[in-house]
Amino acid sequence: MKIPTAGRRDRKQRPRRRALVLALALTAAVGITGAAVLTGTLTFGTHGPTAHPGPAPAPGPSVAPSGPAPSPGAPGIGDPLLPHDGNGGYTVRRYTLAFDWRAPRTPFAARATISATATQALSRFNLDFAGNTLHTVTVDGAPATAERDGDELLVTPARPIPKGNPFTVRVAYTADPTQQRQRDDAIRTYGWVPTSDGTVVCAQPNGAKMIFPVNDHPSLRAPITFRITTPPGLSAVANGRLVERVRRPDGRVRWTYDSEHPVAAQLIQLAIGKFTFVDSTGPRGLPVRDVVPEDLVADTEDHRSRTSEHLTWLERRLGPYPFRRYGVLVGDTDLPVALETQALSVVPRAALLGDRVDAERDLVHELAHQWTGNSVAIRRWSDLWLSEGHARFYERLYSDEHGGVAIEDAMRAAYEQHDRWRHDAGAPAEPTEPTLFKVMRYDGSALVLYALREKVGEETFDRIERSWVTKYRGRVAGTRDFIALASDVAGEDLTPFLTPWLYGERTPPMPGHPDWEVDPVQD
């Protein structure tokens, strides 16, 4: 995510909690607020979903007596900052999402199909799922009991699931595209973001659970198939490749997208509106497709057209772009933040209608994230400095070379404020949940990388950076991994140098700049 360097007034997240127990029947179709379900296939029609009966499900497998006794999967993966995010006991192989979009701020029929594999013998498992009206849950075609506990959906299958077995969960619900939450940091508003004729999605940090039932943690990724049905005259876009566009007899259009790569929940995109698709190519013929509200195509063209230059510049430093396509989604909203949704970054219209230097900072920041944060995913939320710090560093470096503030001046200003940021928001690698997206994770973390470059020299630093995004491409990595890799490339143990920068209460001296001073902290 790209934010201004400082001075934002943000709001605080106040999650809602509620509980609901559903007893699900298999013997007949059930109609609840426009959703009808049998054990066969659910199809979305003009007036809501229609059920097509299928064969009765075969009895589920039983657990071998010699195996471990079935037990509930953990309600979270144990991230110290957001301990209930993600879930234990299984891994997701693919999400398939079906959305029958109607109109802005209007509830619509939705269905999520989750293909997973049990990593333990499961008597019950959790999904992250907030708000929305739940209708039915099945596991391998058989009705399951579903209990809501705040943001957790507790699913008890009709039969336990043995360790190692694949299983399929289907959740039918009515999606509420007005759902949003607030944070008192750079994120501000997240969840569904309505536009005049549709929506965009800003799921970071853990708002995907307001969109669909999910394993909502940045270290947990799976490919996604999106099937979005829109009224005539509207377009839909999501992460990845447009696989199919089908006009139905009633005039509505179904858009099918394949993410092509596993996606972390916070990086999903699902946007609907009166869009124009603007195609171009990047380095080596990389497909680039911008998605632009019809009345903003001409006015945003100048800044958007620089994407190929930005790709070339970043590839010289970080190596080949890590995904199969890229593009910019112009957000026709009043939100002042950009977001690195995977392979399709959201950049607000105001940024693309303003000054070139500022616009390019936004564009390069979100593009840099595709390497650092998207391809190389963070292991825990405390590793966020690796994602945002890298994106800010390359944004600052590009701006320095293209008419913006010199990176040395920007980093000196950050150095002066670093003790204050440490006091208010924790050291770069020690955020608290409320301070996760404060400025320390941006300029404060870019300063750590700048200090490392000053310590080892530009040539070694560039080798560290390229090695980082190459070794962990498509993988998860954390702060310890970065320190170990940097030490290996530099040929010296950098732990004593990086530890106080990342965890200390006070800002260390800046190598090569003995004259730089930190402003005193005054309570």
Residue ranges for the binding site? 365, 369, 388
Residue ranges for the binding site for Zn(2+)? 365, 369, 388
What does the alpha-carbon distance between residue 36 and residue 50 come to, in Å, rounded to a whole number? Answer: 6
What's at 215, amino acid-wise? N
Q: Are the C-beta atoms of residues 327 and 240 closer than 8 Å to each other?
A: no
What's at 259, amino acid-wise? S
How many Å is the Cα radius of gyration of the chain? 24
Question: ∠ at Cα 249 (247, 251), nearest 5°?
Answer: 60
What is the dihedral angle through the alpha carbons of 442, 443, 444, 445, rounded to the nearest 10 degrees?
A: 60
List active site positions. Answer: 366, 442
Chain centroid to Cα 269, Å, comes to: 8
C-alpha dist (Å) from residue 278 to 292, 305, 326: 8, 10, 12
Burial of 334 (0-12, 13-18, 19+ CB in 10 A): exposed
The closest of 76, 79, 1 to 380, measured between CA atoms, is 79
Give the phi and the psi of residue 358 in degrees, each rounded to 5: -65, -40
What sign for the dihedral angle of Cα 469, 472, 477, 480? negative
Q: Are the C-beta atoms of residues 252 and 412 closer than 8 Å to each other?
A: no
What sign for the dihedral angle of Cα 153, 154, 156, 161? positive
What's at 75, amino acid-wise? P
